Chain A
């Protein structure tokens, strides 16, 4: 049987000031690690939630994002005629020809301007994207300079309250409603009539940048895509809306993750040195105890296991503390630039059980690395001389 774990736990408690350095080092590292990953996860989730697998977004072939795409009205009509497009009770296709512009609005937090995506949509957009609900006020009337504002946009940008006049693009607009898009990227947007937006920015009225359609079913996507891409009247690319937004999240998500891992790695190295220092001190302070255990018949493997377990116990405490500290940021809304649209995107940190698990695993890894060398030293102590140490 191994050296009892209570020996290590009590030894840590008895020398808690020495252990505290390692615990705090590991806690800080785990906190930053989980916070960075929860930021990436939140950003990714926000964009992933924006797309529905039952919707398809059609852009000009080769256009990576809506900003670089053109779809004219004739093409929109051809797209709407596709058999796989769902229809209203009256037989009208559920399609929204859309245009996007970037307009500056001040952030409430800093007062500095951020690029906000203003999306011109078709009147049927709420049927195309049924997850979007008007939660205050009403939807805009076609042909009027009216805006509906995403719930996050209303929270983080100044001057977008219900009924407030808003000036951009040389027009004065009126906020008539607030919509909730379920925490997706649309929540950071301002929506208005696509035709009015085109007029405001002096664009041709019959030009859009994308067309989003509601399909009869999720499974109809392949047929829809095949139908459009084989139609000689169209030169378009078709993506499932969910895939399109998921792809948009890749650049920033990867950037945040890489940064997160790098910061965590650097901090982790520091934390490992903290753990090493604590454990080497523990071994030095307890040489006689270790020698006594060896004299009693506990083997070197038992000693290694015991001290690694002690280091893991310290790491566990650090990991739990780090996770607890970072837990309150779950749901905290912040924003960053979406490099695909060059617009500001609000998103909430998402601290998931998986991330907490990853944080704990990282903590234990630091504990293992920080405990192994001191444990090996403990096992190699010369028993006879260590027995007589004071």
Chain B
């Protein structure tokens, strides 16, 4: 279930209401998001599309608690994200959000294993449990034989798979993917999108993805467009389903 009209519906995992985000550049105010509404049910794969500067990444940052809105509210499950202090927000991110970035954002001096282990260092898991979780995540990404490799020793596609493993290893409530295939060739991009799609279809993950690539967006269940600071249904999308 994905809706953008702001009407109250049951069963929303993510509920965004009247979200505004305004930047100030000198004396000029730039309204990036204006009165944006969104409801996303668990297990959905939503793609956000729109021209550069339309606010796609801003929306993702707000949903992930990396930025604060100028107005409006975001609820995820029972948590009102927009009412949280910075410290609580940090803890909430660790428990509920998995990030996948365009440039992978792996720590270059840590191995694939250590990169994936990072989110687990914020949990109470023992070293053995952490190892088991990391091995499972990397194995799911087909990287069991690359655990001791450093990012520089991996291809772009492999780096992004490590990043996805890192995003899912702590079993977050939802994944936020910011142009996850923007830096990859078509073949690698399709592999990555296939893996993300499998996380949704086989493991019930909720994924919200920003992309400017229509072919990437086609992997999603729902495609939403950002226009004039608000979300609109894609003609070919399944919003409202």
Using a CB–CB cutoff of 8 Å, the interface residues on chain A facing chain B are 1-4, 6-7, 10-11, 13-14, 288-289, 291-300, 383-384, 387-388, 390
Q: Which 7 A-B pairs have the closest CB atoms?
A: A297-B94, A10-B109, A292-B105, A1-B121, A384-B61, A384-B67, A384-B66
Known contacts A297-B91, A297-B93, A384-B61; is A1 also within 8 Å of B122 by CB?
Answer: yes
Chain A's closest residue to B107 (CB) is A289
Using a CB–CB cutoff of 8 Å, the interface residues on chain B facing chain A are 57-58, 61, 64, 66-67, 86-87, 90-91, 93-95, 99, 101, 103, 105, 107-110, 114, 118-119, 121-122, 166
Q: CA of A331 to CA of B57 in the docked complex: distance in angstroms?
A: 66
Q: CA of A298 to CA of B93 in the docked complex: distance in angstroms?
A: 9
Which residues of chain B have C-beta atoms less than 8 A from A13's C-beta?
109
Interface centre among A2, A288, A292 (most CB of B within 10 A): A292
Are the C-beta atoms of A288 and B105 separated by less than 8 Å?
yes
Which residues of chain B have C-beta atoms less than 8 A from A293's C-beta?
107, 118
Q: CA of A294 to CA of B67 in the docked complex: distance in angstroms?
A: 12
Q: CA of A387 to CA of B104 in the docked complex: distance in angstroms?
A: 10
A249 to chain B, nearest CB (A): 51
Are the C-beta atoms of A11 and B101 separated by less than 8 Å?
no
Are the C-beta atoms of B90 and A298 separated by less than 8 Å?
yes
A300 to chain B, nearest CB (A): 8
22 contacts between A and B (CB under 8 A): A2-B121, A3-B121, A14-B109, A289-B107, A291-B105, A292-B99, A292-B107, A295-B66, A295-B93, A295-B105, A296-B118, A296-B119, A296-B166, A297-B90, A297-B93, A297-B119, A299-B87, A299-B91, A383-B66, A384-B67, A387-B66, A387-B101
Chain B's closest residue to A9 (CB) is B109
Interface centre among B91, B103, B109, B166 (most CB of A within 10 A): B109
A155 to chain B, nearest CB (A): 53
Which residues of chain B have C-beta atoms less than 8 A from A388's C-beta?
57, 103
Which residues of chain B have C-beta atoms less than 8 A from A11's C-beta?
109
Q: CA of A6 to CA of B110 in the docked complex: distance in angstroms?
A: 8
Q: CA of A42 to CA of B94 in the docked complex: distance in angstroms?
A: 57
Q: CA of A390 to CA of B110 in the docked complex: distance in angstroms?
A: 18
Name the prevailing secondary structure of the B interface residues. helix
Which of B57, B86, B108 contacts A14 (CB under 8 A)?
B108
Which residues of chain B have C-beta atoms less than 8 A from A14's C-beta?
108-109
Are the C-beta atoms of B94 and A296 separated by less than 8 Å?
yes
Chain B's closest residue to A390 (CB) is B103
Are the C-beta atoms of A6 and B90 separated by less than 8 Å?
no
Which residues of chain A have C-beta atoms less than 8 A from B90's C-beta?
294, 297-300
Name the prevailing secondary structure of the A interface residues. helix
Which of A288, A296, A298 contacts B99 (CB under 8 A)?
A296
Q: CA of A384 to CA of B63 in the docked complex: distance in angstroms?
A: 12
Which residues of chain B have C-beta atoms less than 8 A from A292's C-beta?
99, 101, 105, 107
B198 to chain A, nearest CB (A): 23
Chain B's closest residue to A12 (CB) is B109
Chain A's closest residue to B57 (CB) is A388
13 other A-B residue contacts (CB within 8 Å) besides A14-B108, A296-B166? A3-B121, A6-B114, A7-B110, A10-B110, A289-B105, A292-B99, A293-B118, A295-B64, A296-B93, A297-B91, A298-B90, A384-B66, A387-B66
Interface centre among B105, B108, B114 (most CB of A within 10 A): B105
Q: CA of A1 to CA of B86 in the docked complex: distance in angstroms?
A: 18
Q: CA of A144 to CA of B217 in the docked complex: distance in angstroms?
A: 110
B27 to chain A, nearest CB (A): 21
Which residues of chain A have C-beta atoms less than 8 A from B57's C-beta?
388
Known contacts A387-B66, A388-B57; is A298 also within 8 Å of B122 by CB?
Answer: yes
Chain A's closest residue to B172 (CB) is A297
Q: CA of A387 to CA of B99 in the docked complex: distance in angstroms?
A: 11
A386 to chain B, nearest CB (A): 10
Which residues of chain B have C-beta atoms less than 8 A from A296's C-beta?
93-94, 99, 118-119, 122, 166
Q: CA of A7 to CA of B64 in the docked complex: distance in angstroms?
A: 25
Which residues of chain A have C-beta atoms less than 8 A from B61's C-beta?
384
Interface centre among A2, A4, A293, A294 (most CB of B within 10 A): A4
Known contacts A384-B66, A387-B66, A387-B101; is A297 also within 8 Å of B95 by CB?
Answer: yes
Chain B's closest residue to A14 (CB) is B109
A325 to chain B, nearest CB (A): 29
A189 to chain B, nearest CB (A): 61
Q: CA of A343 to CA of B87 in the docked complex: distance in angstroms?
A: 67
Which residues of chain B have C-beta atoms less than 8 A from A298's C-beta?
90, 94, 118, 122
Q: CA of A288 to CA of B107 in the docked complex: distance in angstroms?
A: 9
Q: CA of A14 to CA of B95 in the docked complex: distance in angstroms?
A: 31
A313 to chain B, nearest CB (A): 13
Q: CA of A6 to CA of B114 in the docked complex: distance in angstroms?
A: 10
Which residues of chain B have C-beta atoms less than 8 A from A300's C-beta?
86, 90
